Amino acid sequence: MTAPAVFRRSEQGLLVAALAVATVLPVIDAFGRPLGGFHVPGAGSILQLVTLWIAFVGGLLATREGKHLTLSTAELIRSERVRRGARLFSFSVAAAVCAVLAWASVGLVRADREQGKVLSFGLPEWVAETIMPAALLLMAVRFAWMASDGARGRAAAFVTLASPVLLALLPEAAAPKLVLPLAAVILLAALLGAPVFVAMGGLACLLFWKDAVPVAAVSAEVYRLVASPTLPAIPLLTAAGYILAEGGASARLVRFFRALFGWMPGGIAVMVAAVCALFTTFTGGSGVTIIALGGLVYPILRDDGYPEGFSLGLVTAAGSLGLLFPPSLPVILYSVVASVPADSLYLAGFLPGLLLVVLVAAWGVRQGLRLDAAGRKRPPFHLRELAVSFWRAKWELALPLLVIGLFASGFASMVEASAAACAYAAIIGCLVTRDIHPFRQLPGVLVKAGALMGAVLLLLSVAMGLTSWLVDAQIPSALLESVKTHVSSPLVFLLVLNLILLVLGSVLEIYSAIVILAPLVAPMGAAFGIDPIHLGVIFLANLELGFLFPPVGLNLFLSSSRFGIPLTKLYRHAVPYLLILGAGVLLITYVPAISTGVLTLLGRR
């Protein structure tokens, strides 16, 4: 076996092992409490360490697989020559920023080694932290290698790895003069395809450097993030969603919802809305729904007589439904970033999420009635088929109930419920439905999930460094004062927020949008007296709508690629759904009782 192959196997093995530990420890704690309080000593510290390793080993995998979160703007470049130049420039900048972040992490490791901190289970803290500089340096090397297919391009990219040395040699007086040009270079690189975490990490380092603060402050914020009690839920729910998506869950869910709704007017369209919403709750807003289900449900719609434009628009719109339902990952991420309870956000988001699904389904019923009037015959209802399909899909249908039941009952924390969901998905997929072989296929599925985990966690980590500088510089306070000066009404503020989130939600990938925008939006909402849970629902519902907003909404690109339809043609088919869902988002925004009413009934308000 070659050295590169050994290295790939090693990083994949590390990730799978870390995920296994992250799953087992919370499950032991959750189910050990009723059995006399049994738990693993030091489990909390171990879980923090494992989450750190998942973030950076997963980030390394995301670099290798090209899965880091990027802006959609790079997709607009049509010229192949320009694309090659953009890749060389953006990846060279990415290599330079990762090298600087690696050097900053070395400073953190050195500082903690001198302090002699020891984790609760006896391991020196600095040893655990070495994954940060090691992984970041390897990412820098990979970005430099991927910058070009030619030797000259790669050689030029590798030169940028000396960026930490150049910054160290520059006099402090040069920093204020260079910060704007260097920031412009980083932002341009992000527009041309560099990962968003590179832009945020690079800007954070530049700003701390300008203020003569050691750039190790960025790495300190990264390490501090792993202490968040909800953070491990992100990789656990991601793994659970990927396990379900890789198995036969999609076919079983389609069969069940077809039996449930297929007999009614527009029943097949209702089925598509329902099954896509449920599938999105498993996989989050990563676009997996359109890729996994699009080829399955689109032919069903066409065979049932639905026009091509309607069918394409429905599949494109339904690909982001269900974003507010448990165990959707963006809800967890928003709860971490905005410091709101995840359980309350799930409860508040249920009716708004259901409203958006019902609106899309109602449009499908309208189209179905028109087809019936034209002479189409609907299939009859068969109780036996409903019972059989329900029995086949019972394991997938039970997963959201498992998460809600464990968490809402107080039996388990959010992380413990997420770990139970991951274990449940693995057991069902490998041992019950046997869609996935536990040894030949499951590790590969977890590695795929690991790339998304690393991309999200790494982005969230470096964003904490940038947020720290913004807070120190009192930027949120200044922004808040500016908004309050020009906007006096909470209603006007919410309308402006809707428009901003709609536009930015179409340009930014959803996880990037949450990390970048939530820390700025949350204090503004509080200043206008908007309930923080209601604000979170508004925020996520707007991002869900942004998937459909031309010209660069994620669902539009995915459908165009999946079905081979020109984007300009797809825009026309998506507009009715954009208007329908837009009306739903406005209703959610201006009728807070739709979200907070559930919390009031349950005594949480």
Assess contact for 104 and 218: CB atoms under 8 A: yes
Please indicate, yes or no, whether residues 169 and 258 belong to a single structural domain of this protein: no
User: Model confidence at 75, in pLDDT bands (50, 70, 90)?
Assistant: low
Asked whether residue 194 falls in the same domain as residue 292, the answer is no
The pLDDT of residue 97 is above 80:
yes
34, 124: one domain: yes
Whether residue 449 lies inside any domain: the answer is: no
The confidence score (pLDDT) of residue 211 equals 81
Say if residue 28 is in the same domain as residue 108.
yes
555 in Cβ contact with 319 (< 8 Å): yes
Indicate the SS3 state at residue 118. strand
DSSP characters over 195-264 = -HHHHHHHHHHHHHHHTT--THHHHHHHHHHTT-TTTTHHHHHHHHHHHHHHTTHHHHHHHHHHHHHTTS
CA angle 98, 103, 104 (to 5 degrees): 95
Q: State the pLDDT at residue 547.
A: 80
- Does residue 501 share a domain with residue 355? yes
Average pLDDT score, the chain: 84
Q: Average pLDDT of 495-518?
A: 79
The share of the chain scoring above pLDDT 90, in percent, equals 24
On whether the CB atoms of residues 447 and 67 are closer than 8 A, the answer is no
CA distance 122 to 110: 18
Q: Which domain holds residue 294?
A: 233-436+474-601
Measured CA to CA, the distance from residue 230 to residue 310 in angstroms comes to 40
> What backbone phi and psi angles, to 5 degrees, belong to 180?
-70, -50
Q: How confident is the model at residue 538 (pLDDT cuts 50, 70, 90)?
A: very high
Query: Distance of CA 368 to CAs 33, 267, 371, 375, Å?
Result: 52, 7, 5, 11
d(CA 383, CA 594): 34
| DSSP secondary structure letters along 417-482 | HHHHHHHHHHHIIIIIS--S-TTTTHHHHHHHHHHHHHHHHHHHHHHHHHHHHHHHTTHHHHHHHH
- Asked whether residue 25 carries a pLDDT value surpassing 70, the answer given is yes
Q: Within a domain: residue 457?
A: no
Instruction: Identify the DSSP state of 124.
Output: B
Answer yes or no: do 376 and 403 share one domain: yes
Name, in order, each residue with C-beta under 8 angstroms of 337's C-beta and a sequence gap of 6 or more: 460, 463, 514, 515, 518, 519
In this prediction, residue 400 carries a pLDDT of 81
Residue 59 and residue 68: Cα distance in Å, rounded?
8
Q: In which band, very low, low, confident or very high, does the pLDDT at 90 lie, cut at 50, 70 and 90?
A: very high
Same domain, 139 and 240: no
367 within some domain: yes
Q: Are residues 53 and 198 in the same domain?
A: yes
Residues 306 and 197 occupy one common structural domain: no
Is the preceding peptide bond at 551 cis, omega within 30 degrees of 0?
yes
Place of tokens 């050295």: 3
The answer to whether residue 463 is domain-embedded is no
Same domain, 264 and 386: yes
In angstroms, the CA 417 to CA 426 distance is: 14
d(CA 80, CA 142) in angstroms, rounded, equals 22
The answer to whether residues 39 and 115 belong to one domain is yes
Residue 461 falls within a domain, yes or no? no
pLDDT value of position 208: 85
Interatomic CA distance for residues 510 and 504, integer angstroms:
9
With a cut of 80, say whether residue 260 has pLDDT above it.
yes
Cβ distance 297 to 401 under 8 Å? no
450 in a structural domain: no
Report the pLDDT averaged over residues 45-73. 84
Residue 58, pLDDT score: 92
User: Among 505, 504, 496, which residue's Cα sits nearest to residue 528?
Assistant: 496
Last residue of a domain, one of 225, 247, 272: 225
**CA trace torsion 198, 203, 205, 206 (10° rounding):** 140
Q: Is the pLDDT of residue 138 over 90?
A: yes
Q: How confident is the model at residue 360 (pLDDT cuts 50, 70, 90)?
A: very high
The total of structural domains in the chain comes to 2
- Residue 38: CB atoms within 10 Å: 11
Q: Could you give the CA distance from residue 429 to residue 25 in angstroms, rounded to a whole number?
A: 21
Give the model's pLDDT for residue 288: 63
Domain end among 201, 225, 249: 225
In a domain, 32, yes or no: yes
Measured distance between the N- and C-terminal CA atoms of the chain, rounded to whole angstroms: 60
Name the residue among 198, 222, 186, 184 with its Cα closest to residue 70.
198
Domain boundary among 179, 195, 225: 225
Q: Is residue 130 part of a domain?
A: yes
pLDDT, average across residues 433-450: 89
* In a shared domain, residues 290 and 210: no
The model carries a pTM of 0.78
